[in-house]
Structure 1
Amino acid sequence: MGEKRLGACDIGGTSIKMAFLTTEGDIIRKWSIPTDRSEGGLNIVSHIARSFNEELEQDGVTAADVIAVGVGAPGPADPVEGTISGAVNIGWENGYPLKKLLEEALELPVFIENDANCAALGEMWRGAGNGAGDVVCVTLGTGVGGGVVSKGMIITGVNGAAGEIGHITVVPENGFLCNCGKKGCLETVASATGIVNLYKAEGKDAPDARTVFERAAEGDAAAKRVIDRCAFYLGLAIGNIANTLNPAKVVVGGGVSEAGDVLLAPLEQYVRQFTFPRAMDVLSIEKAKLGNDAGVIGAAYLAKVMTV
């Protein structure tokens, strides 16, 4: 028998990240496999199980040394029913019974959650959240993701839709159309795509958000206005979240956050402008620390707290 460990899995559209961790959240081993989206994602569970068992064997341990497995997956999750819905980039039908199928394949307890929520748990536990139990995570990538942690647990809402920060309306009139069908969502003005949208509204073109940031650094006035507008909308949303939830930290991650202080400095000023003073007194804005490991660390935390 080896040291007891936690299993973790972060299912993405192109790859599946997996890891074994200690109960304190230190990664023992991590690896990834390609996501097989053929046949409606039918083979994903069996591929996870095979890879998981191969890595256990390589470590010279067995499934008996694993306490439980936490899994983050795209789309709204129903942790009670153990189902995932809306994972269109993988091909799973609504209500896909991920927990049941993985438990049968792994012969271990499995706990599931939305992937963005797992990343939020990871940052709360071992990342920029630094163990604070009340943390809001905002991920600025192609879209805007989010996760809300209160007293160390994810807030999921009635049907798993809590924490959809990217779909807070920040442009109430004449906003850009969002993929969700609404107009004026935060995602349309604060994601990588949103920054390009704002730049086009200035009458200029850029292939990606990185280019807009580069042009701002070179003195492009339109690009500077776009970054300020992005920070404004993001600060408005975070301020209202802070007024509602009173978190200790807001953790900002994702590719767009790599712009650093050019975005985060004005963002902090706008958050201060829109946040109730008493809530602002205890709030700090932090850059995410865990990168691609956030999902597996958060999934392991889920497995830990669900088996205590």
Structure 2
Amino acid sequence: MLEKKLIGIDLGGTTIKFGILTPQGEVQQKWSIETDISEEGTKIVPDIIETIKHRLELYNMTTDEFIGIGMGTPGAVNIEQGSVIGAYNLNWKTEQPIRQQIESALGIPFVLDNDANVAALGERWMGAGNNNPDVAFMTLGTGVGGGIIAEGNLLHGVAGAAGEIGHITVDPTGFECTCGKRGCLETVASATGVVRVARQLSEEYAGESELKSMIDDGQEVTSKLVFDQAKADDPFAEMVVDKVCFYLGLACAHIGNMLNPSDIVIGGGVSAAGEFLREKIQRYFDEFTFKQVRESTAIKLAVLGNDAGIIGAASLALTFNEEK
């Protein structure tokens, strides 16, 4: 008898990634399509259904060969209803009954969750988390998101807001966040946050620095440029990176002191700075944690890259099916 497969979907504002996986987490096929957010996003779910049907025909597969479909999506997710609301980058202003549409069209069990939670599941299952039962995941990109798996369970909280690592307060008098409060990690450690810190610190920095000169000249500055300059021993860029890593180390220490996971995994575009970033976060993490946490919780870099979403979504479908 053939082993049944899983489908993982990573729904983003510009592309939708798909994967067909084994129950052991091996990606056997993957593809992507553009996200068509026109007409208030009404084409997104029909496009998902159409491309899955097309691929199953292409691979000569039938729907009964699948355990389930899992999907990660932006926005506020109602897991019980299988619906999403407030995914503004998808142009979804009203509640979207996604599960109902996909299950009725394909006849395969469907489950969805927030995209950061799903990426956390991916890194925990097949990535840096080594399938450990206690893993926290932090993604540093346009914003700062995250997900927390504790004793094998993905945490959601009473309002679905568990794992919102980007809103840990790291500077009570700091920058205003889009959430309405001040000093959130997202304001200083996202891609735009790193640049914001650089601009603020440049006002008082008087030494020689190529990065400082670029800011003063009004040139475009990115988080990647800040880290590249720091790696090239630009003293001002080093100061900026040190400040950002102070905030990240403090936030990781809060997570460590409260949850004591085996791993805090850091992913997303900013994490491309690699070991240079990780070791600086580690230094501050060690400073702000107590002995038992310091010796048992590891700071790691994510390893799955763009595949974290589809792998995590597949694991969501696998777990959902096992619990039924």
Q: TM-score category by the smaller chain?
A: over 0.9
Q: CA deviation at 1:268?
A: 0.3
Q: For 1:256-267, what aligned pairs fall within 5 Å after superposition?
A: 256-267=270-281
Q: In the alignment, what sits opposite 1:46?
A: 46
Contact conserved, 1:2 with 1:61, CA < 8 A, in 2? no
1:240 to 254, 260, 268: 254
**Matched residue type, 1:245:** L
Distance 2:65 2:228 in 1: 49
Distance 1:75 1:95 in 2: 10
Q: In the alignment, what sits opposite 1:177?
A: 176
1:282 aligns with 2:281: no
**Matched residue type, 2:188:** V
1:84 aligns with 2:84: yes
Q: In the alignment, what sits opposite 1:58?
A: 58
**Any idea what SS the aligned residue of 1:84 has?**
strand
Contact conserved, 1:46 with 1:105, CA < 8 A, in 2? no
Q: Output one character per residue of 1:96-143: Cα deviation in whole Å (capped at 9) or x when no partner.
A: 222222212222110010011000000000000011111000111111
Unpaired runs of at least 5, structure 2: 203-211
Q: In the alignment, what sits opposite 1:202?
A: 201
Q: In the alignment, what sits opposite 2:234?
A: 220
1:291 aligns with 2:290: no
Q: How many residues align?
A: 307
Q: CA deviation at 1:195?
A: 0.9
**Any idea what SS the aligned residue of 1:116 has?**
helix
Distance 1:131 1:292 in 2: 18
**Any idea what SS the aligned residue of 1:251 has?**
strand
**Any idea what SS the aligned residue of 1:182 has?**
coil
CA RMSD of superposed structures (Å): 1.3
Distance 1:150 1:99 in 2: 26
**Any idea what SS the aligned residue of 1:252 has?**
strand
**Any idea what SS the aligned residue of 1:202 has?**
helix
Distance 2:221 2:286 in 1: 32
**Matched residue type, 1:286:** K
Distance 2:76 2:255 in 1: 20
Q: For 1:249-260, what aligned pairs fall within 5 Å after superposition?
A: 249-260=263-274
- After TM superposition, the score normalised by the length of structure 1 is 0.96
Q: Cα gap change, 1:155/1:135 in structure 2, threshold over 3 Å: closer, same or farther?
A: same
Q: CA deviation at 1:221?
A: 1.7
**Matched residue type, 1:109:** P
**Any idea what SS the aligned residue of 2:112 has?**
strand
Unpaired runs of at least 5, structure 1: none
Q: In the alignment, what sits opposite 1:108?
A: 108
Moved over 3 A (4+): none
Indicate the percent of aligned positions where both proteins have the same amino acid: 48
Q: CA deviation at 1:2?
A: 4.8
Q: CA deviation at 1:93?
A: 2.7
- After TM superposition, the score normalised by the length of structure 2 is 0.92
1:9 aligns with 2:9: yes
Q: In the alignment, what sits opposite 2:208?
A: none
